[in-house]
Amino acid sequence: MAEAFARRYSEDIIEPFSTGPEPAVALDPGAVAVMKEVGIDMSSQRPKLLPMNVLASMDLVVHVGCGSERCLVVPGVISEEWRLDDCAGADRGKLRSIRTSVEREIKDLAERLRSSGLAGVRPGPVTVKDFLLTSL
C-alpha cells in the first residue's frame, strides 16, 4: 500500500521501493482489493528482497508496521518508523483503516520533504530518489 500511495502522491520527489527482511510470497489479496477501491491497481506488484548494497544506497528508510525489534536495520541510512497494523489476516474493514493510515502517512511525508527536505541530509525541497518502505 505504501509503495502504491507513494507512486500516486509523490512520484515527483520519491522513488519508492518496498521490501522487508522476509518478504511474503505474494501480496495480500485483501490489500490489493481495498486499494483497487480507491483506483490503485497493485496486482502487478510483487514482494521483493533487496540486497544490502542497494539498501545502503537509500536516502531514507521508512519502517511500516514492523515494530522496532523486527525492522530492517540499514546502517548509515536515515530511518523513521510508522506504527501501523499489519495487513496479514486483516478483514476488509481493518484493511480500509490501514489503507487510510498509510495514505495519510505518505501524504505527510511528501509534504515534509517538499517543504523542509530530508533532515540532516539535504535542506529545502528535495527529490529523494532512493526511498525504501519496509514492512512485514
Task: Give which of 51, 86, 48, 47 is closest to 70, Cα–Cα.
Answer: 86
**Total-model pTM:** 0.81
**What is 70-82 written as a DSSP string?**
GSPP-TTSEEEEE
Q: Count CA atoms within 13 Å of residue 107 on its CB side.
A: 6
Residues 117-129: pLDDT tens digits? 665 555 444 444 4
Q: Specify which residues 118 forms β-bridges with.
A: 122
Domains annotated on the chain, with CATH: 2-135 (3.40.50.2300)
Which pLDDT belongs to residue 57?
78
Tens of pLDDT, residue by residue over 93-113, are 999 999 999 999 999 988 888
